Chains A and B, each alone.
Chain A
Amino acid sequence: MIDTLIEWTSRLLLIVGTFFYLAGTIGLLRFPDVYSRLHALAKADNLGLGYIVLGMAVQAESLAVAAKLLMIWPLTLAASASVGYAIARRAALERLAHAGRTVPLPFRAGRKPRRGRHMSGGLIFAVTGAVLFAMGGAAVILLADLLRRILAFNLMGSGVFLILTQSVALPLAIYGRAYFARAATESRFFWTLTGFLLAGLNALFLSTDLFNLYVTLEITGPLLLSAIACLLMVAGLLLKTALFPFHYWLPPAHGGAAGAWLLLNPPLITAAARVATGTFAESKISPLAWARFIAAHEYQTILPGGSVADD
């Protein structure tokens, strides 16, 4: 009885969530200007996500899983609030057009940003980077299995990247002003990330004495699941490399992202793991596991790409 009730509650919540996602997409397509589209995205979609998370948390088997699921929602709410504000503010500074009768903006929309203003954002990025680094480091130490450690390690890498490239004081002291030239930043990012990932793999091997990547990643799923994973994977790769359907709309943010490294990374890790364990011929990595890596790396490289494109 209770089981049936939970099952149907969960289904109902999932369907309500789907409705809000649909509403968000319709709003994104039909609303007249950036500001109102921002509403569609930040409100409707996050409400939909809330319902879906709730629908999954209801049927979770343990409290820990449910709690972790419910952590996702406040995080995305806080994130979309700040991102929405940042984009709307910037749009107003750029004097993007409003559609129709609208109330005046609650901030000084007429002021153009000063030249060289980006330098002043350094502290925020440095602090964010330090927090990311600390969180990732704690997770690397605390987490149990290799996959999560690698994900946490990527978080650490992002933090290091932010500190090295985006905070002003440290790189300015070390490399001087020329450091902020685009090419230098790009290569710095590439080698930092590569070096840190390789060092991290070594460290993981030393600490766990184990490279059982394909044991922790072992996943069996039905056909539809694999199909979705493959679609996501292909979409991610197309986005990353700015191939055909995505080539024209990408913001210049993607200019400096390390696409080649992204493509090579999961196979490289797998190969390294196999060589390290001497089980090269034995097992294969599943498409979904690969898709997981791709998804995580997607969002990790959009970030450096976005900040590199500043110059």
Chain B
Amino acid sequence: MSMGFPGNGFEQPVALFLLVNLVIALLRAARGPTVADRMLMALLFGSTGVGILVLLSAHGGTPLIDVALTLALLAAISGIAFARRAWQSGHGAENETRRTRKGRDDRHPD
């Protein structure tokens, strides 16, 4: 398979760094406190994932660039779908201004 890149030896360490970066950012998802913050994490998975795929294309070959393109497109659509559809008022969003409601887990009302 034609590789398309000579590679400069920095790609894999940088990709690994981005992966660690992503894992650390998961703390934000853990802390919340709103559904929107967690969705931001999903978007971060998208942009970091595209970056990692682009970096790995130095060794994995140019098809990974296609995957990166597809991923960029679909990650965006998932964000829009979330903001317009999935984010429900009231029980969907744990509102920061109403954090004193009893049960932390009110995302599954039943």
Partners in one complex: yes
- Contact B8 A10, beta carbon cutoff 8 Å: yes
- Contact A75 B77, beta carbon cutoff 8 Å: no
Given A60-B4, A76-B47, CB of A228 within 8 Å of CB of B75: no
Residue among A25, A52, A53, A224 having the largest count of chain B Cβ atoms under 10 Å: A25
Q: How far is the CB of A138 from chain B (nearest CB, A)?
A: 14
- Contact A68 B69, beta carbon cutoff 8 Å: yes
Bound complex: CA A309 to CA B96 (Å): 22
Bitwise interface map of A from 46 to 65 toward B, beta carbon under 8 Å scored 1, else 0: 10110011001001111001
Of B36, B65, B70, B75, which one neighbours A155 at CB under 8 angstroms?
B70
Of B12, B29, B58, B108, which one neighbours A224 at CB under 8 angstroms?
B12
- For the complex, is A199 an interface residue (Cβ under 8 Å from B)? no
Of B44, B49, B85, which one neighbours A309 at CB under 8 angstroms?
B85
- For the complex, is A307 an interface residue (Cβ under 8 Å from B)? yes
- Contact B48 A21, beta carbon cutoff 8 Å: yes
For the side of the interface on A, what is the size category? Answer: 35 or more
- Contact A306 B81, beta carbon cutoff 8 Å: yes
Q: Give the nearest-CB partner of B27 in chain A.
A: A29
Using a CB–CB cutoff of 8 Å, the interface residues on chain A facing chain B are 7, 10-11, 14-15, 17-18, 21-22, 24-25, 28-29, 33-34, 37-38, 41, 45-46, 48-49, 52-53, 56, 59-62, 65, 68-69, 71-72, 75-76, 78-80, 82-83, 86-87, 89-91, 94-97, 112-113, 118, 121, 124, 128, 145, 147-148, 151, 154-155, 158, 216, 218-219, 221-222, 224-225, 228-229, 231-232, 239, 245, 248-253, 288, 292, 295-296, 299-300, 302-303, 306-307, 309-310
Bound complex: CA A295 to CA B63 (Å): 13
Chain A residues lying within 8 Å of B71, measured Cβ to Cβ, are 295-296, 299
